[in-house]
Amino acid sequence: PLFYTVNLLLPSVFLMVMDIVGFYLPPDSGERVSFKITLLLGYSVFLIIVSDTLPATAIGTPLIGNEVFLIHRT
């Protein structure tokens, strides 16, 4: 459980908290846009790490991978 907590849960929570913090930046500043783009890049890297960490299955994308993707996109 510690492996999955450190490699999946903590980065996921960190990215979600940073996404919420991004809403407190002023909308007309250029920093908000670059911050959100950086978070999007972080989400992409996180999904790659999740797909490499999870075991391979017969179906194309693991269900937990889809769940993580949907949670971070909403």
pLDDT, tens digit (0-9, with 9 covering 90-100), for 1-39? 787 788 888 888 898 899 899 889 888 878 888 888 899
pLDDT, tens digit (0-9, with 9 covering 90-100), for 47-74? 888 878 777 766 666 677 777 777 777 6
- Minimal CA–CA distance to 50: which of 21, 9, 15, 1? 9
Separation between Cα atoms, residue 22 and residue 27, nearest integer Å: 9
Separation between Cα atoms, residue 73 and residue 54, nearest integer Å: 20
Query: Are 18 and 24 a contacting pair, CB within 8 Å?
Result: no
The model's pTM: 0.66
Spell out the domain ranges in the chain. 2-73
Q: Which residues contact 55 (CB under 8 A, 6 or more apart)?
A: 62
